[in-house]
Structure 1
Amino acid sequence: MPYVPSPPQRNDSLPSYSRTAPPIPPAPVKRNSFQHKLRPASEIYYSVSRASSASLRKMAYDKALERPGSADSASMSSCPIFTHEVKTLFRDSFKTLLEFYESGHLCDVELKVGDKSFKCHRTVLACASLYFRAMFTSEMAESKQGVVTIYDIDENAMEKLIRFVYTSKISLTTDNVQSILYASSILQIEAVAQACCDFMKTHLHPSNCIDVRNFAEQHNRVELMKTVDEYILDHFLEITGSPDFKNMPVNLLERLVSSPDLHVETEEQVYDALMAWVNHDAEARGEHLPGLISHVKLALMDPTFLMEKVETAELIKKNHDCRDYLDEAKYYQMSLVSLVPDVKVTPRTCPRKAYAGVLFCVGGRGASGDPFKSTECYDVRRNKWFDVAQMHTRRRHVGVCSVNGLLYAVGGHDGTEHLSSGEVFDPKTNKWKEIHPMATFRRGIALASLGGPIYAVGGLDDSTCFSTVERYDILTDSWSSVASMTTPRGGVGIASLKGHIYAIGGNDGTSSLDKCERYDPYLNKWTPIGSMNKKRAGAGVAVLYGAIYVVGGFDDNSPLDSVERYDPKSDTWSVVNGMLCCRGGVGLDALGGKLYAVGGHDGSNYLNSVEAFDPITDTWTVMRGIQQFRAGAGVTACDSVLKNLRKVVRNTSERLQFLIGLVQY
């Protein structure tokens, strides 16, 4: 065999160490500290340097010998690992990529959009756009093409989106936001699409909201659709005056008028808006009228408007379904004055939240035992409670009622003594004003209005339960006595219905009562009526759809969750679905076709929870709770425009903050 010379070895090659484990150094020899000899500093320096250099070479050698699962690897796993991170690298890299894009360097694809073309980097596009990622990583023809044509996208919007993927910045205006939203939706650049939606939400106006709603629906932007729908519900009356309203799609219009959250002041406004929309093209839109009218609450309109405007409309007269809805409304209104038997309750007889009124919770007491003078108001559209002006006096077990849009609070206990005083709250000014006091000091009193005057019924002090009744004349600001009840009743509940006042339950000083009685103001006489199924005092009582409901209260031992309904025609009580928890000292009133049970005591704790009863479904639903845990509060609904009340409260708060600032200054 001929001689083959070995290949020359390069000077820069690493030495070929044998792959053997390094030798274990011998154990250090123990020396007496006195045996050490002093060495020159230079000798120490050079020996340390040689040792350090050898240690570094040994670490590199040992690292080269590491193998997964080996003993050497296991021994090295406990060694510290240093990770260096340059947090600005990605920004610097994208700055460089932007420079490459602007100069056309290293670009590997050209996008043609309209009359413009853009040289880009596939990787950058694929990182930001799911559309391009799918295009460039699949077997599509475009994945191998140097020039790719994009159709149906505005070239200016495309240019802004390309710069966005290189810079993460994009400028939105009212002129370009729709084209950019369209392009970003097609190219699946969700960050930009969401930014466009957020921008459009903040620039909604009655003149553009319908167009925005249609655009959002075309691109399936669900959150934007929801926001625009809420805006249209809040600004319906303003939108009906815009030219775009008459071009609103019928499905959107029907969705709006069927909503209980539609913000209108009267149902007549809804009817006028619908008829204007239909009459814009009566021949084509007439077929939609029955479906639209089915959501209008004709029964809640003014009788004169119903007879003179609705009944005489040609489109209504020609349609059988519309005439049926009109007849339903007539019968409902006649049932309110007992001209015909009660009719069935339907969603068309439930008022919309915007004009249903507001609910007030007044006074009461909590776990500390001290009575409150705070007043909370319920926003039924937003399911939220907010504070209004406080009373002048603390009051627990106070009687409350509303008359002509004003809230009256009378009697109660202030924590020290029983009260005969009263005060009235005006939602238009957010102020309380004192009224003339009653003749009797009492708590556990109940108030009701009947034909104008206010009646203060029953109550108790520390020694007596009262059967006496006083009547307050609003015009003269004076009290007078009327016939007393047949039974003393502290913690009584009362309701006014079809010309009579009903006194429900209470406590006669010995035990809770199931007995009830009725007052006739013309005869000035109380007459017993049918007894409840359970004894109860401190119960909530309210009228809804021609029936009296009584909820919760205390029997002689504990709080109750049971609910009963009284039919004045048959003079009988029937049990309905009970509340979700026991409530003694609960406040109750009807608002927007539902009953609201507020606060109370469950036998262990004061409550701030609220639940609402729907008579159509016979169910209770948990609502937003009041801010204070309280029982013995007065709860009543009041005919007041919530939007105006919120504005007055806000202005009052701003003035107060201003005055506080002046004092501090």
Structure 2
Amino acid sequence: MATSSKQTTASQRNSSELKLHFMKKLMKKIFCFYDEQSLIDVTFKVSNPEAFVPAHRLILSAASPYFENLFNGDRGNAHVIEINDIDSDIFERLITFCYTGKALFTVDNVAAMLKAAIVLQLEDATTICMDFIMSHIDECTLQGVYALERETQCELVKRKIHEYEIQNFMEISQRDEFLNFDVEKLQCLLESDNLNITCEEDAYGAITRWFNHDVSARQKHLSRLVACLRLTQFDVDFLLTHIQSLLGCELLAFMASTWISNPSARTKINMRFTEPRVGIGAGNSDEKTLLMVYKEHNASKACALQYNKAEDTWQKYATLYNYNINSSAILKDDNLLFIGGDSYKSPSKSFLSWNIPNKTWRELPEMNQARRDHSVVELDGKIYAIGGRGENNTLLQSVERYTASNGWEFVAPLITVRFEAGAVSLNGKVYIIGGSNRKTLKSVECYNPDSNSWTYCAVMRETCRSLSVAAHNGHIYVVGYFKGSPAVERYDPQRDTWTQICSLKNDTWCEFACASLDNKLWTIGGSVENENGTRVAVYNDENDRWVQKNLLPKGEIYFCFAASLSLLT
């Protein structure tokens, strides 16, 4: 019996191997027929430029219902069939795909390939095109992807974009395109249990930003969107302060508050969502904390400090032995990138990456121009090095951009030369703020990567240099010294206006660092009389005041970032 079973299994295995061998042999022969143009039974005449593309009806019919219907239709028996709505190069590549399952996609041709694949009903080619586009979103641009969605009205395209929006919701919600989402699209995102946010306040902030863009037209939709929030994940104080005050949301706030405070009544409360989203809550791997580059007073080396939110304390994470004074830094993925700075008292072209989990350094391609006191920022995966000072203390107007594929390339220069300025990305644009051209500035410039151009924005209320900036809740916050005193200004990019908000108490001049964490603006730097340490404060925008946290030991604050806690454990 056992022997019979083994023989049956061996026979099945041999049969499967024979079938696989047969299929490979068959496909190899079909490829040969195509390469040699043997047994061709149809030729396509394609325009722009005019070309003749031979093929086999049987193969194309098996690959696509478009060709199956074409050959069974009125034109099916013609020896030469004209195709007028697809360029010849694109058409020939997709015919090759029907035989091989492969095609050469580039950033330049993928949009045309996608549209043609949809017309020819090549579902696999359409999927591969969209996967390529979404994996090259920096080069293809989000605007281009949304344009393809509108033009093609293809369900597969819509699904791929929706998946990207779910995974990258935090970034998407800060862009201009997000402000023009229709309510159905936004509702669909907010309903998703897989929405990639760190806490429910992130989703609330996104709704608020979208709503404030056109209050009168969107008022009627507000309660519909708020109902998509996991309201039971807020505390009662947040519900009463933020949700109950929204027109039409009073009942939602009441039900959620009751659900939280009176567990015995939960069976009587009809709430749409009562559980947290997937991955949000205690132990969430996407939870973030503050990571700061800092040098304690009298210490010889800079280090990275990690903030412990539960205990309101800071702890040393690692010593940064290769830290370069006057370099600029950004956080990208799981690396701190340090760009330029001082090299033997001269500006540097250096580009160093420090991997946070592994605590290891790596050299990356140098900039084209040596810089110090410059600004760096990331936008759509690209890194910008802006202005600064060069050799012999010359002031730099140039701007260069780094991508892994092309290295460093110059883009449009600044309108005004400047160093010691602040830079931040928001809504798909880069903002450079204040600084000095040997005279302290209050001017602001905005870079649009689509047009490769800088334009002036509204000027700050006061001149400022050596400032720290952060994008927070759709606004830009500037923390620095205005006329010798510490103060904070807030920029509204939609209205192009600046507002001065509650100032920081500080008796000594210093450089600040600020970051957005847990839907709050944090700033670090300075001290007041009788304080033996460096101040850490959180801005409360409800009552326009700063809440003090525990002091840091006195030292120099270089940079501060909101980093995933999972990187630091």
Considering only CA atoms, is the larger Rg found in Structure 1 or Structure 2? 1
